[in-house]
Amino acid sequence: MASSGSITSGEFIRHHLTNLTYGRRADGSWGLAESGEEAADMGFMAVHVDSLAWSFGLGALFLWVFSRAARKAVAGVPGALQNFVEWVVEFIDENVRGSFTAKNDLVAPMALTIFCWIFLMNLMDLAPVEVVPRALGFAGVHFQKIVPSTDPNITFGLALSVFALMLYYSVKIKGPVGFAAELTMHPFEAKNPLVKILFILPNFFLEFVSLISKPISHSLRLFGNMYAGEMIFILISIMFYSGARLADITAGGVVMTLAGGLLQFIWAVFHILIITLQAFIFMVLTIVYMDMAHQRH
């Protein structure tokens, strides 16, 4: 990767917001994009290699830690890892019991997986902006985004998976006719059969919009918050490195460097709350959507 001192601030930002993309080039060959423009030209079938690699790696880390704790669990005095895992499981269990009124053995494990997985993906935002991309740059890797939740493909993938389960259980619990009635008989109701038929179209429009908005808002909320947080880290990083370049020339450079370092620390501490809260919100909405799918009206 090029040093932040040899490129403009705009180029620095674009570089850090570009995924390592694999796809079909303009000449018909397949490979990794060497520029943001080439990555954009690869179209819909392009794959964000870094987002997939980091998300799968962090998911495997979650499975390894929790399975290790389960294998080494003891009935007596638990160790630090077992205490931590039990605390997380109890926290998720309380939230599921408080928001999910039906019975489905899938919901609690899914909520646990979603919370821990998204938390780990968000946690990568605390890694220094330059460290990993600069290290991989020596290996010839042109781009590297290490926060999967700043990629809308990842957040939409998670949200659409939840949405698919929501639709599946809506049809399974209520039946095709019941689910269709839920979309066409509310919110406008009437006892007159003719008026009830007239209300079908506006009811379906309102309910369909409400239904489709769930995965969109579910994914964009997580993406927007994490993307904004990453952008702030990048802007503070520009301030820090700009000050470092000027530190040997002016006192203002020293002040800018110290201010940038202090802001990085303050924003990182505050960001711990954000990354946890966003994982929690995504999990709670998942539980609520699954509860709505199990409700019979």
| Active site residue ranges | 217, 221, 225
CB 229 within 8 A of CB 125: yes
Structure tokens at 283: 């999990």
Q: Which residues contact 160 (CB under 8 A, 6 or more apart)?
A: 215, 219
Residue 28: DSSP 8-state: S
Determine the Cα–Cα distance for residues 34 and 171; give it in Å rounded to an integer.
46
Which of 222, 229, 223 has its CA nearest to residue 281? 222
Structure tokens at 201: 């179209």
- What is the chain's Cα-based Rg? 24
CB 163 within 8 A of CB 215: yes
